[in-house]
Amino acid sequence: MMPKKSARSSDADQLKGLQNSFAALAVQDEQLVEEQHDENGTADATDNTTQSSRSPVVDELRAQILELGALPRGNRQDLQKQLRKLQKARKAEEELTEKARHVQNIKDQQDRVARIERGWTDQDFARSDEVAEALRQRMKLELQNPDSDDNSGFVRQPYRYYCVFDVEATCEKDGGRDFPHEIIEFPVVLIDARTLEIVDHFREYVKPRISPILSEFCTTLTGITQDLVDVAEPFETVLHHFEMWMVNFMPYPFEDALFICDGPWDIRDFVRKQCTISKLFPPPYFHQFINLRRKYQLFYNRTKCNLSQMLAGLEMRFEGREHCGLDDSRNIARIALRMMNDGCYMSPNYDSTAKKANASLQSLRWYEIGETTKSINAQRG
């Protein structure tokens, strides 16, 4: 009896083994089917330009989606949803681009009118356009030869040129912050950030408009005498001369140049006040600048300091006459060059268009300027 039982057990084991083998083969077949399905799906998604479906509508949907720069996925309903979403996004992008173009055109027109008010002629516009074209050609060459003008020992600065700027303005001994300062000296020292050298400077005196007679305090402080401002041009003419000088280096609006000042006052207060008095829009190149005092304090980890203290901290001495705009600008330029050599990245750290920057000028109105001028003239007798 025992041999019969052993035979039955052996048959059962063989049958169970065959069942397991059949089950394993079935799993393998299912995996192969799934892999083949995935391959076909990928081919449909990535090669829709060569494969066509049975429905011309689906083919058209796929073609439109491809034209919009996306890969078509899914069935007909999925493709329709995908196409509507892409078309909506494209329309929003086009509307935003058109709006930005319209705003830029308005700004360009306003800027052109502002430049004409400052004395720009057709020849000036043509000259600026020629410089712009020459700059584009130069940039193409630099892109083709990126290492041709590389100074490996210097930190690559974000701007090619830096305009060091320190104006002198009309003043009274106790004039205070609300005094209607007018610029009487407009100096700029130009730094080439590629060579870390001073390459040129600009300087003109300016005839004041509402306070044409300089106070004794102003002459003593600045060294600017009455005869210098009497023969000078008004601010808008001097600004035009400056812009024509800058065109020798780059086209208007001088996007590859940044102003550097000893504090925020020269541009935030004096330039903006002067533009208000002269009824001019502040040019765009004055919108952002470097407050060198703040940059110096952060870079060298120093406390608040003035121009003389910054020079002393770098073991330098003031050269020239203090409160002479050009001499002040030259000394500020010396500090800026030293900071660049020490590895300081000279990016803008002040925006004169910000609300905080405008707060000090909110009280400046034409009638207040007139009233202030009357009181000054009355005090002088």
Task: Say if CB 335 and CB 210 are below 8 A apart.
Answer: no
Alpha-carbon distance of 220 to 215, in angstroms, equals 9
Considering the candidates 39, 102, 168, 216, report the single residue annotated as catalytic. 168
Pull the structure tokens for residue 356.
């905080």
d(CA 156, CA 270): 31
Active-site choice (201, 241, 287, 323)? 323
Active site residue 168: yes
How far is 270 from 179, CA to CA, in rounded Å?
10
Give the three-state DSSP class for 107: helix
Contact 218/228 with Cβ under 8 angstroms?
no
CB 236 within 8 A of CB 280: yes
30 in helix, strand or coil?
Answer: helix
In 10 A of CB 319, how many CB atoms? 10
Note whether 202 and 243 are within 8 A (CB): no
3-class state of residue 350 by DSSP: strand
29-41 residues labelled b (16+ CB within 10 A) or e (exposed): eeeeeeeeeeeee
Active site (catalytic) residues: 168, 323
